[in-house]
């Protein structure tokens, strides 16, 4: 049983774990899960190398309330500062780990399942930023198919339609199950022969649907292009035997997710497009907090905002849940 599990190792997730260390929690009781193979993936990916990282970014005040703080720095210095925070605080960061689901037990502790492990924890903090996007295919999707070529099954109501799901992971199976249940004719296209990326439940459910003829699976199939025909997606397969086939909808499940879908999947309530947040960034789920860009509204925050939000969340976590103490002067 961990005390704190943090999802996302950017400035918010790292500082969350650092705050917990400074509140006296042992590093063995904290775990950070990062879906990329390195921390601060957004900074590494989106900042130009020559960028000056400003402390008062977008006009956010450069005043730090917690343990971590930066002045204006280069990109390299910013990453080194975060590297050191992980090292000096002996943080356990697990890379290439994607959260699949989360369950809250009756005693309010959590079970968090990933592609690699199952974690038991008292508190969860989500610090995944706002830059997540679903992965897109490498061919062009015609603009006028935007309501028929989808990246999840929640944005448009799909019933009694012919639907092609593309992918071979858990989302692909879950979409097939959901679409079949809603009376759709479902076809799944997957590049490989075996479904090695799915958990056992999803694989068994999918294969059962195939046996019942509720889902047709096109194994080892590749889509070469997508065109519009009579306002519908016409899919051209690379395999001659499959040729071109028209569907009412194509739903891609190629990995990645928008932060909104991820939070909803974890059971967090929304008010419109914003998650409902209570005091110190606690969500509608007791013991589940957000930090960083996720707490700063649609335009996102700054690095210092991320650090400060972690400090604010930690104050409540200490006061109400973990019986620790956090007492830091403003810098």
Q: What residue ranges bind ligand FAD (CB under 6 A)?
A: 7-13, 33-36, 39-43, 46-47, 53-54, 57, 98-99, 127-129, 131-132, 262, 292-293, 300-304, 306
Q: Closest approach of Cβ 271 to ligand FAD, in Å?
A: 20
The answer to whether the CB of 41 falls within 8 A of the CB of 34 is yes
Question: 13 or 167: whose CB is closer to ligand FAD?
Answer: 13
145 vs 314 by CB, closer to ligand FAD: 314
What are the b/e assignments for 103-138, b being 16+ CB within 10 Å? Answer: ebeeeebbebebeeeebebbbbbbbbbbebebeeee
In the complex, the smallest distance separating the C-beta of residue 97 from ligand FAD, rounded to whole angstroms, is 7
Pick 134 or 142: Cβ nearer ligand FAD: 134
The torsion defined by the Cα of 102, 108, 109 and 114, in degrees rounded to 10, comes to: 0
Smaller CB distance to ligand FAD: residue 73 or 234? 73
User: What are the structure tokens assigned to 206, written together?
Assistant: 């999918």
Indicate the residue among 17 and 303 with the shorter CB distance to ligand FAD.
303
How near is the Cβ of 96 to ligand FAD at its closest, in Å? 10
Which two structure tokens, joined as six digits, stand for 284? 């509608």
- Shortest Å distance, C-beta 182 to ligand FAD: 26
d(CA 154, CA 131): 20
Nearer to ligand FAD by Cβ, of 48 and 243: the residue is 48
d(CA 295, CA 18): 19
**Residue pair 232/246 in contact by the 8 Å Cβ criterion:** yes
Distance CA 249, CA 270 (A): 27
How far apart CA 49 and CA 252 sit, in angstroms, is 33
> Which is nearest to 35 in space by CA: 72, 65, 10, 71?
10
Helices (H), 119-267: 170-181, 200-211, 259-265
For residues 53 and 322, which CB has a smaller minimum distance to ligand FAD in the complex? 53
Nearest-approach distance from CB 275 to ligand FAD, in angstroms: 13
Minimum distance, C-beta of residue 12 to ligand FAD, in the bound complex (Å): 3
* CA geometry: angle 34, 40, 43, nearest 5 deg: 145
Nearest approach in angstroms of CB 37 to ligand FAD is 9
Cβ-Cβ contacts under 8 Å for 52 (sequence gap 6 or more): 72, 73, 74
**Calpha distance 85→130 (Å, rounded):** 22
Shortest reach from residue 186's CB to ligand FAD, in Å:
26
Give the residue with the Cβ less far from ligand FAD, 40 or 121.
40
């Amino acid at each position: 049983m961990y005390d704190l599990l943090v999802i996302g190792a950017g400035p918010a997730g790292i500082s969350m774990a650092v705050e917990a260390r400074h509140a006296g929690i042992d590093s063995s009781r904290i775990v950070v899960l990062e879906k990329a193979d390195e921390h601060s993936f957004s900074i590494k990916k989106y900042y130009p190398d020559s960028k000056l990282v400003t402390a008062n970014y977008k006009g956010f005040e450069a005043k730090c309330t917690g343990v971590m703080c930066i002045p204006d720095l280069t990109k390299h210095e910013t990453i080194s500062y975060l590297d050191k925070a992980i090292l000096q605080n002996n943080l356990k960061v697990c890379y290439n780990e994607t959260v699949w689901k989360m369950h809250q037990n009756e005693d309010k502790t959590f079970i968090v399942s990933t592609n690699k492990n199952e974690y038991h924890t008292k508190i969860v903090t989500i610090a995944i930023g706002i830059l997540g996007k679903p992965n897109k295919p490498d061919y062009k999707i015609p603009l006028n198919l935007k309501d028929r070529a989808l990246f999840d099954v929640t944005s448009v109501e799909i019933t009694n339609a012919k639907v092609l799901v593309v992918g071979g992971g858990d989302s692909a199976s879950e979409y097939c199950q959901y679409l079949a249940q809603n009376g759709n004719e479902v076809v799944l296209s997957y590049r490989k022969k075996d479904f090695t990326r799915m958990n056992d439940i999803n694989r068994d459910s999918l294969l059962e649907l195939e046996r019942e003829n509720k889902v047709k699976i096109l194994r080892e199939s590749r889509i070469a292009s997508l065109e519009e025909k009579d306002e519908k997606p016409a899919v051209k397969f690379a395999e001659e035997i499959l040729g071109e086939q028209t569907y009412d909808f194509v739903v891609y499940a190629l990995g990645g997710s928008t932060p909104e879908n991820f939070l909803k999947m974890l059971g967090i309530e929304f008010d419109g497009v914003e998650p409902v947040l209570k005091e110190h960034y606690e969500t509608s789920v007791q013991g589940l907090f957000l930090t960083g860009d996720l707490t700063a509204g649609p335009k996102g925050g700054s690095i210092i905002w991320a650090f400060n939000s972690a400090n604010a969340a930690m104050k409540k976590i200490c006061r109400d849940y973990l019986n620790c103490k956090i007492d830091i002067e403003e810098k």
